[in-house]
Structure 1
């Protein structure tokens, strides 16, 4: 195993020891034991920058299931390194922030950091795996670990609801993605992404290509909260603020973005890929920004803003996909959209991470996140206010912050859509810049609401649960670092151009030579006038917000996607309850009727459809007189059980069937089997007698004839089906019996003359051992129940 593999699994390894460290060092905050790992991982991944900046790729592989072509292959290219740095870098800042945010006296820190480490390792596995099955494994682990993190405060109903919602929606998308992986394997005969990309032009005409494309997009859209699957993200804000800052600004919600970027070289051959990604991205961008304006909770505003920003990045990836495989398109010209997506991915992680931490600081120091109760905090929390100004102005796309640069590139990419003379973009493409501009106006409005409604105006001390004051320096370090990066990347954007942005863009567009150069001034361009329009209209609408906010009342709550989700779950639960009550009658006989009826239908239909029944008498030995007598004895005993009036008679008749079978084994010269059968039947009869001795006398109630007929038909049907299968199996021998192997090797290999004993002890040694283990466990369980029953009886007697 290489150092790269160790880097991926190191969070899982540390998670094993966190509970131990938590118990041994109660006085030390557990986060201090976790913090060194993401710092080391970030430093380790930084060491790859010199290689990645030269467009080199590092691949390490360890066999996992070689027979199925599944290897744990770790691949570090520009895109993978970008996400690995975000996961480890933001992760280190979040852990540092959480040390001061979560009190060790009040919280179960061992579980929190275990969940956080599991999520960190899962995300690293997603972005660095080159094998789709391994990627899917980590993908589902992100859903599981995020479920645990979102529901960390499980005593709150809203936390449990948000965790369940995120799990159901993202796991649904994950299962869809698994279907797409299987379809791709059927077309390419490989699970390795790099090998699939090489066959992209060949498989684009396959009939399974479009279904695979749709399956992957469903997985990406659910994970990255694209409309209409975005509804889980706002409810996930019930998680602790460090979780929100980590999962919903830099990691989990970016997993779907990563998947689209990674798979674009495979699926961009189809125009459907461009339209779906860009179309859903723009709808998500607009709806998220429009919905954020009406929110009153700081984290709710940030949640919908995250939805909006994810839509922005997704739409850019959709437009950038046009430059991948279509002839006549200038890759450098239209590759700008992909470059903008990568750049905004970094920018969003910096300003949104800092804003989430600001929201947590405000909540932590005032006791509320409701902007209706906030205001005037600028004088009490000047450092937090400064961080908030930097983050919100960057999110609004104002200079000189990094968000302004990527927003300009976003406008430029949307304006150039009209130059694409493919997929009707030269006509319908006019909607792209229009929707982008409108959404940017609402982005400006909610950014101003976020900062000015919280920090300016009159302080409302009577509505606050705590006296406001500045946060401790430990809680401020992380957002200060992120805010500083917002300024640095804004003033000196080309620090990242050649080292990270260009290699990541080249990973998405492997056949293109992208030259990245980012600058503030592009002349009096349409993008500049669009930005001026956003600021002017944004200021006017922000100042007049109380007058036009009534438009949100035109959207009835009964028609929301959240209501649809809730009603769907309730409806499925009602249907499930009705179906369950229909067949869960409490009668064992009824359950057996269901089981055996299904047994008959499935096997009989399979035999009929496959024309599998054959009857060959050429290899059947003759039937003797004694065998006929024994068979008749079994039939008579079986039928007699139906008419027995006491349980004792039924048990004796059932035992006689087993003893008759033992005589069969004697006739077939299998004394070991005969002896085993005799022992089993003797024990069974004794146990039955012991159990039924405690039961009341059997009462023969008068039953309707139709129930007896039903039982008879099912019984005969099961017997007939089993007989047909046995005859067909005997008549359809496709290869020689394995008996010859045992005859030849019993003595030579195992030095035993008793073939049955050798098979059980040597050839089937593990099978026999596990059977004995199961019997031992069952015996211990029975012994435990008997002991509990005896103790319970003694207590009752004492009472």
Structure 2
């Protein structure tokens, strides 16, 4: 399982090399194979009734952070969506993206995104999950901003990054709270300690932080504003992001933690309210859009709100319907985005005001759009899967756990009406998408190019997804018990009853609600020009985008003011600020925690030679301050280092003395080499207040370092490791010089990285010297 998750990351490394031969073959051919292999590996679990599988790999065991993968019905559903639709999107991109594009970059981002999503849905360790969670934000940022020469792409990528990373940080806070409370980093381990978390005084904060992370990722109201701007990404990215990946991560998080959090009444109130409001607002706003992908973006917002609301209901039928709709939404939404890409590719525009009558020119594409859009609308036809989950949604809204008091009772009474309202506008935007694009009068004179049917390669992927729409519609129980119910059981945290899916249940309330949606929706479609001016009043000039832009602009302006306040080009000011910050923070922390301790019981005797060397070092240190010559200051400063070597000798530490002598000699030589070429030192005239401040910081910082050194020597919180080094130096390190063995063996990685840093610095200096030499030759 680890190999499966790492497979996209591994092959992402090979993509830059393969893209060099993109003139001979499209890299997308190679990329399509990877998710196909993953899909084939996991699809074999369907119908086996397997018990949850756990695979653990050691990572940071001392912090209880290991890579733990957990496969159950819920994660299997998402893995199959991520890999299956990922393969179709990769194949679709072969014909959508021209070889002149930066295909190497695109497929590297794509594979990282895929691998990150697989990691999210399979991880059982919360910190591993969070790591993959943030990788999805980073890789989606790169995918959305793929066409970085467009200002809109950069804007959309940055907006998605800021909002989702903000939510990710809140998620991290909630995960840390739960891991501290339960003393485990396992999601399943936390679920097993449900009572402990629910009864904790921090539960309201935990619930808020977890849901905030989920709502921002899944574009729930009012955090939905990033999703329409993400449409600036190439259409394959949009199809993948909306149907199976990015936005479904928040849905997965709520579903995964439902067994733990759903016992709280506030979970029902918050999740159901946010979900149903998102459904209504997203469907209402979709009809206002004029860009095909924008219509689909708001439709995704509404559909995600519908799924989120059902997860908030928490009843058995609601969870079953939510899981079923996750599958259905992936099929029809992925195909519709690919249809929008075909229209844009073949007609040269996505502006619905310029489109119309395209069924004549794109008959196959129009047929696919017809079936997918009618399925999304929930039209009651037995061969469309969208109707089944929509009717289950209505049924779930009518059969909530009884409560007649307070907010819960009011919400339960309002939910069926809001469900119908949101579904009516879902019907409207679905019809608007299809009929305004493919029916009516054609406007060939307004199109950048004459449309014609797409090449077969662009039709294969949406055809497969629409075929899935029909197959699920005709045989809804084909994978019911073996797949859908299995996933729903994982969300509920218990076995659920069998829920046979039928087209006809008799004339009951859900059917009446569905018929009301169709009739009222049809009336609104036919009279759209009459009532569309309502958008001038709601939302009118109100916009969450304006609020976002205002916050970002103010943040940038205030940050600029603050930064300019201390970044004025004065090195002395920078040094003062750094030292003052260290002085205040460290002193306050040490004082509060009682860190300052002085223990003189085990100090060596101080004799006259030591006093003489110490006085000499003090005089040298003061001399560096009063001298007006850099060379002299460096030489005098060297006296301090050599004095320290003498102290090592006097206190019988010859190995440290030799090390200090070598370091001091090299340092003095390097300083002399560098400072020789600088102009003569000129004392800057400073005000009395500045000199006083310098004096306070200097004395304070020196005193702080002295106290820290004394306290470090006086505090013995742990057993000294010195005896271990003395015992193991020869046997493990193969040397009797303990200091050298520590540097080379016991702390070999530290030394290695220090050498790397020095090597990089040396190369930089060499480059600067060469550059200066070339400039002198040109002069």
Both structures adopt the same fold (TM-score exceeding 0.5): yes
1:227 lines up with 2:221 in the alignment:
yes
For residue 558 of structure 1, report the CA deviation from its aligned partner: 5.3
Q: Secondary structure at the match of 2:243?
A: coil
Q: 1:44 aligns with which of 24, 34, 41?
A: 41
Equivalent position SS for 1:64: strand
Q: Give the match for residue 612 of structure 2.
A: 629
TM-score, normalising length: structure 2: 0.94
Q: Residue 687 of structure 1: CA displacement?
A: 4.1
Q: Please state how far the C-alpha of 1:734 moved relative to its aligned partner.
A: 4.0
Match of 1:325 in 2: none
Deviation of residue 21 (structure 1)? Answer: 2.6
Aligned residue for 1:419, secondary structure, equals coil
| C-alpha distance in structure 2 between counterparts of 1:748 and 1:498, whole Å | 62
| Aligned partner of 1:573 among 537, 543, 556 | 556
Structure 1 residues 505 and 737, CA gap change in structure 2 (3 angstroms): closer
Deviation of 1:36 after TM superposition, in Å, equals: 2.5
**Aligned residues of 1:417 and 1:426 also touching (Cα < 8 A):** no
Name the CA distance, whole Å, in 2 between partners of 1:746 and 1:18: 46
Aligned counterpart in structure 1 of residue 598 of structure 2, from 615, 619, 633: 615
Partners of 1:379 and 1:550 in 2: CA distance: 31
- Residue of structure 2 aligned with 1:458, choices 416, 441, 448: 441
Equivalent residue number for residue 709 of structure 2: 726
Q: 1:226·1:284 contact (CA, 8 Å) conserved in 2?
A: yes
Tell me if 1:197 matches 2:219: no
Q: CA deviation at 1:479?
A: 1.5
Q: 1:586 to 1:626 in 2, by over 3 A?
A: same
Write the distance in 2 (CA, Å) between the matches of 1:423 and 1:505.
29
What is aligned with 1:86? 81
Matched, 1:348 2:353: no
Provide the rounded CA distance (Å) in 1 between the counterparts of 2:586 and 2:245.
Answer: 49
1:356-755 alignment runs, 5 A limit? 356-400=337-381, 401-417=384-400, 419-420=402-403, 424-555=407-538, 559-734=542-717, 737-740=720-723
Structure 2 residue matching 1:430: 3-state secondary structure: helix
Report deviation, 1:606: 2.4
Task: Report the Cα offset of residue 505 of structure 1.
Answer: 1.0
Moved more, 82-91 or 599-608: 599-608
For structure 1, the residue ranges without an aligned partner over 5 or more in a row are 322-333
Does structure 1 conserve the Cα–Cα contact (< 8 Å) formed by 2:321 and 2:392? yes
Deviates more, 1:260-269 or 1:556-565: 556-565
What residue is the counterpart of 2:317 in the other structure? Answer: 336
**1:371-414 Cα distance to aligned partner (Å, 9 max, x none):** 11011112111211111111111111102121111111111111
CA deviation after TM superposition for structure 1 residue 626, in Å:
2.9
Report how far residue 739 of structure 1 moved: 4.5
Say whether the 8 Å CA contact 1:281–1:313 is kept in structure 2: yes
What is the match of residue 324 of structure 1? none
Q: Distance in 2 between matches of 1:38 and 1:751?
A: 49
Distance 2:540 2:622 in 1: 65
User: Deviation at 1:743?
Assistant: 5.5
Greater mean deviation of Cα atoms: 467-476 or 131-140:
131-140
Query: Helix, strand or coil: the match of 1:617?
Result: coil
Alpha carbons 1:418, 1:425 under 8 Å: kept:
no
SS for the counterpart of 2:69 is strand
Contact between 1:289 and 1:304, CA under 8 Å: does it hold in 2? yes
Distance 1:192 1:393, change over 3 A: same
Give per-residue Cα distances to partners, 1:17-75, cap 9 Å, x unaligned: 22323324532222222222323322222211121xx3633333333333333333332
State the 1:270 CA deviation.
0.9
Structure 1 stretch 717-726 or stretch 613-622: which is displaced more?
613-622
Q: Is the CA contact 1:418–1:426 (under 8 Å) kept in the aligned structure 2?
A: no
Equivalences, count: 777
Assess if the C-alpha contact under 8 Å between 1:557 and 1:563 holds in 2.
no
- What is aligned with 1:145? 139
Structure 1 residues 689, 378: closer, same or farther in 2, change over 3 A? closer
Q: How does 1:54-133 map to 2 (within 5 A)?
A: 54=49, 56-104=51-99, 106-133=100-127
- Report if the CA contact (8 A) 2:145-2:156 is conserved: yes
- The 8 Å contact of residues 417 and 425 in structure 1, kept in 2 or not, is answered as no
Aligned partner of 1:329 in structure 2 is: none
Is contact 2:269-2:408 (8 Å) kept?
no
Q: Is the partner of 1:75 in helix, strand or coil?
A: strand
Aligned-CA RMSD value: 2.4
Which stretch of the first structure deviates more once superposed, 634-643 or 187-196?
Answer: 634-643
Q: Is 1:13 aligned to residue 7 of structure 2?
A: no
1:224 Cα offset (Å): 0.8
Tell me the SS of whatever aligns to 1:248.
Answer: helix
8 Å contact from structure 1 (residues 359, 369) kept in 2: yes
Distance, in Å, in 2 between the alignment partners of 1:501 and 1:517 is 11
Most deviating of 753-762 and 355-364: 753-762
Partner Cα separation in structure 2 for residue 312 and residue 199 of structure 1 = 29
For 1:773-792, list aligned pairs within 5 A: 773-792=756-775
Deviation at 1:735, TM superposition (A): 5.2
Cα separation, partners in 2 of 1:695 and 1:781, compared to 1, 3 Å? closer
Q: How far did residue 657 of structure 1 move? A: 3.0
- In structure 2, the partner of 1:172 is 166
Aligned pairs for 1:278-293 (under 5 A) are 278-293=272-287
Specify every segment of 5 or more residues in structure 2 that has no aligned partner in the other structure, as ranges.
Answer: none
For residue 266 of structure 1, report the CA deviation from its aligned partner: 0.8
1:629 counterpart SS class: helix
In structure 2, how many angstroms separate the alpha carbons of the residues matched to 1:215 and 1:701? 52
- Partners of 1:341 and 1:741 lie apart in 2 by 59
1:303 to 297, 301, 314: 297
Equivalent in the alignment of 1:326: none
Give the secondary-structure state (helix, strand or coil) at the position aligned to 2:178: helix
Shift of 1:618: 2.8
The one-character-per-residue Cα deviations of 1:109-134 (angstroms, maximum 9, x if unpaired) are 22222222222222222222222222
The 3 A distance-change label for structure 1 pair 46 and 672 is: closer
The 1:781–1:434 alpha-carbon spacing in structure 2 relative to 1, beyond 3 Å, is same
Q: 1:232 offset after TM fit, Å?
A: 0.8
Structure 2 Cα separation of the partners of residues 355 and 487 of structure 1: 14
Match of 2:255 among 234, 254, 261: 261
